[in-house]
């Protein structure tokens, strides 16, 4: 029978102290690594706290080995300092408090009282109770700091830290009654080890929570920026997204002037040419105002280091943080945030934040380029509309001159020739009739040209009668059966839109006559709340399409001109080949009256055809 016996050293206080020292050293190394990795001050203070705790364990080990009271004294001192440094690390985590003179007095309590308790007092309770209460209060206060942070941001790591420190603070209260009497030896050390491991797990969870929350918010911000259409939209998104971070109450965009962006980095924000261009939340009133002292300080440090910076705020804004925004290697400004929770950049390292700032700067630059491109496009559209108007004015002038002058000359010539009929010999009258026929042909040609240059119906009766006349003339001239399906009345549009639609139908019908070899054409005009649509479908040969499925514009210069004219008034044109004529002749599908012209050469059944679709907004931008 084997009897399991506990190793002699395992149950001793010294062995438990050595085990706790090894674990505490591991926690100090972990926090030091987090500080080096993320450059956040609270990780550094946690590393200092665990290092002091290791010194405490070393002191108690030396006391157990030597039984000298000096090591018991330093054990008590380092115990109090450990609690204070842990509390300070938590406070720095929550916010960055300024140094106060009375902090030194608090730090002097452990060495002063430990001297009194060990070397002056004979009563164990009187000596131990104040130190235990101090230790327990500091530890519980640390837990309360993390609980407050958990209430503001909902962090599982902060919640675990709060519970761990609160229970650890309660555990300290049993020292005068249990551990000092040997009742908890060595299990009190093991319980401390459990609390240390819980605190270490809480710190790791805190980092993971911060990373997840920060990456989600900042990645969403980056995605939103690239979906914006203008600088204004980008700034609105840029400022609204940080407000979703826990504890952030305001955000503002600070931009340097073009010349000052290259200035010496040591210039302060008040000395520089930068200014806030927009704000949100509690920072909504910052634009066009000089930054106050904390904001100016954090901006100056951000410019000097070109790294994210955090400073203590004032009033209802405990912190002010600045994220540098760059274009390439040039600093152009900063995203400034303020609120009531510590560093809003969480545990994210500075390299990531600098890269994000560069991405924000690139997105703002892209939005600015998009704005410039949109402005240039509007200018070109307005120029195109002016050219179209000038072109139509010139066509109107030529049409008037041909009608009023050239046609009148032909009419006068015809009248003069008619006056010669009575004085001519019979054999000359035949030649006169041929001359009169030529004059009539010239008059008709001039009338056709004047109508092509500027249809009088469009000016006199409006768009719909002009469209009906155009369809009727097309059918009579080409012999192609044509149907116009249109409502009884069209909404009123600008002269440019009326003319663009008329010319679009004119060019579409001309294209059918020249290239389609069609026997049927249907024209449909429909309106909705904000646009008018024209569809011209035929049963002809269809369009010549390129390899990419688009119409070959080089073979249809007239249709390309139609596109430019429609685009100039804010419309759209699409060309497509259809399997069959997408219309039936007769009454319109919506019950509106249809104007029909029938060809004289009959019709044939075709299985292919072309379709032109034109869409115009009912409101066309005015020329500037």
Do 324 and 307 meet the contact criterion of CB atoms below 8 Å apart? yes
Q: Edge-to-edge strand order for the sheet containing 520-527?
A: 572-578, 609-617, 531-538, 520-527, 481-485, 594-597
pLDDT reported for residue 315: 64
Structure tokens at 560: 């390309």
Which pLDDT score, from 0 to 100, does residue 5 have?
A: 41
Q: How far is CA 455 from the centre of its chain?
A: 49
Interhelix angle for 13-38 vs 187-226, to 10°? Answer: 10
Q: Which of 184-193, 474-483, 615-624 has the lowest mean pLDDT?
A: 615-624
- Lowest-confidence region among 73-82, 469-478, 517-526, 563-572: 563-572
564, 568, 570, 572: CA torsion to nearest 10: -10
For β-strands 275-281 and 520-527, DSSP reports them as unpaired
Which residue, 247, 315, 245, is CA-closest to 285? Answer: 315
Average pLDDT over every residue of 355-370: 76
Place of tokens 């006559």: 513
Q: What is the pLDDT of residue 54?
A: 96
CA-wise closest residue to 34 among 207, 212, 209: 207
Per-residue pLDDT at 93:
84
The 10s digit of each residue's pLDDT in 585-600 is 333 333 343 444 444 4
How many other CB atoms are there within 10 angstroms of residue 305's CB atom?
A: 12
Residue 311 has pLDDT above 80, yes or no: no
- The 3-state secondary structure of 127-150 reads HHHHHHHHHHHHHHHHHHHHHHHH
Could you tell me which residues are beta bridge partners of residue 336?
A: 252, 322
* This prediction's pTM: 0.59
pLDDT at site 181:
62
User: Residue 588: helix, strand or coil by DSSP?
Assistant: coil
How many whole angstroms separate alpha carbon 174 and alpha carbon 127? 15
Whole-number pLDDT of residue 314 = 66
**Bridging pattern class, strands 594-597 and 481-485:** antiparallel
pLDDT average, residue stretch 59-68: 87
Whether pLDDT at 316 is above 70: no
Pick the residue with more confidence: 513 or 201? 201
Q: pLDDT tens digits for 461-513?
A: 788 888 898 888 888 888 888 999 998 888 888 877 888 888 888 888 888 88
Q: What is the pLDDT of residue 587?
A: 33
Q: Go through the chain and tell me how many residues it has.
A: 624
Distance CA 237, CA 431 (A): 84
Alpha carbon distance 187, 85 (integer Å): 25
pLDDT classification of 43: cutoffs 50, 70, 90: very high
Given pLDDT bands bounded at 50, 70 and 90, which one contains residue 260? very low
pLDDT at 381 over 70: yes
CA distance 260 to 394: 52
**Which pLDDT value is given to residue 609?**
76
49's CB contacts (< 8 A; 6+ apart) are 82, 85, 86, 88, 89
pLDDT at 547: 63
The encoded tokens of residue 624 equal 């500037």
């Amino acid at each position: 029978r084997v009897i399991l016996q506990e190793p002699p050293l395992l149950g001793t206080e010294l062995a438990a102290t050595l085990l706790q020292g090894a674990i505490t050293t591991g926690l100090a190394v972990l926090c030091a690594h987090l500080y080096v990795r993320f450059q956040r001050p609270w990780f550094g203070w946690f590393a200092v706290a665990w290092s002091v705790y290791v010194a405490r364990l070393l002191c108690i080990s030396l006391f157990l080995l030597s039984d000298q009271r000096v090591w018991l004294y330093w054990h008590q001192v380092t115990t109090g300092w450990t609690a204070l440094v842990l509390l300070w690390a938590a406070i720095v985590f929550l916010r960055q408090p300024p140094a106060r003179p009375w902090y030194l007095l608090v730090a002097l309590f452990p060495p002063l009282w430990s001297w009194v308790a060990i070397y002056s007092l004979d009563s164990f309770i009187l000596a131990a109770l104040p130190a235990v209460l101090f230790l327990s209060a500091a530890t519980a206060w640390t837990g309360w700091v993390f609980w407050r942070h958990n209430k503001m941001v909902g962090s599982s790591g902060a919640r675990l830290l709060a519970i761990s420190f609160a229970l650890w603070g309660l555990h300290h209260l049993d020292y005068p009654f249990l551990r000092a009497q040997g009742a908890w030896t060595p299990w009190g050390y093991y319980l401390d080890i459990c609390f240390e491991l819980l605190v270490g797990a809480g710190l790791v969870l805190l980092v993971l929570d911060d990373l997840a929350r920060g990456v989600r918010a900042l990645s969403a911000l980056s995605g939103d920026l690239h979906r914006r259409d203008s600088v204004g939209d980008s700034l609105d998104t840029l400022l609204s997204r940080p407000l979703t971070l826990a504890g952030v109450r305001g955000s503002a965009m600070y931009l340097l002037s073009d010349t000052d962006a290259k200035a010496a980095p040591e210039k302060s924000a008040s000395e520089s040419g930068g200014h806030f261009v927009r704000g949100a939340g509690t920072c909504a009133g910052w634009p066009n105002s000089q930054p106050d002292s904390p904001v100016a300080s954090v901006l100056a440090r951000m410019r000097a280091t070109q790294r994210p910076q955090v400073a203590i705020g004032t009033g209802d804004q405990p912190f002010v943080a600045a994220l540098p925004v760059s274009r390439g290697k040039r600093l152009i400004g900063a995203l400034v945030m303020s609120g009531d929770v510590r560093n809003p950049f969480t545990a994210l390292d500075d390299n990531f934040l600098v890269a994000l700032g560069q991405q924000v700067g690139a997105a703002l630059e892209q939005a600015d380029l998009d704005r410039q491109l949109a402005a240039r496009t509007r200018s070109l559209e307005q120029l195109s509309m002016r050219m179209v108007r000038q072109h139509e004015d010139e066509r109107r002038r030529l049409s008037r001159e041909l009608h009023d002058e050239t046609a009148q000359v032909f009419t006068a010539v015809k009248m003069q020739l008619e006056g010669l009929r009575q004085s001519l010999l019979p054999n000359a009258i035949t030649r006169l009739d041929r001359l009169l026929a030529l004059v009539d042909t010239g008059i008709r040609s001039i009338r056709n040209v004047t109508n092509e240059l500027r249809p009088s119906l469009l000016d006199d009766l409006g768009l719909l009668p002009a469209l009906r006349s155009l369809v009727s003339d097309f059918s009579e001239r080409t012999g192609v059966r044509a149907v116009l399906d249109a409502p009884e009345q069209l909404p009123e549009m600008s002269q440019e839109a009326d003319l663009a639609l008329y010319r679009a139908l004119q060019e579409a019908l001309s294209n059918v006559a020249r290239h389609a070899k069609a026997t049927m054409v249907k024209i449909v005009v429909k309106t909705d709340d904000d646009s008018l649509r024209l569809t011209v479908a035929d049963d002809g040969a269809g369009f010549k399409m390129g390899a990419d499925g688009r119409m070959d514009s080089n073979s249809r210069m007239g249709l390309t001109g139609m596109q430019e004219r429609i685009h100039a008034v804010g419309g759209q044109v699409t060309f497509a080949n259809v399997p069959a004529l997408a219309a039936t002749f007769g009454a319109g599908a919506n019950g509106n009256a249809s104007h029909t012209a029938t060809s004289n050469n009959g019709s044939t059944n075709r299985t292919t055809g072309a379709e032109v679709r034109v869409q115009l907004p009912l409101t066309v931008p005015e020329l500037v």
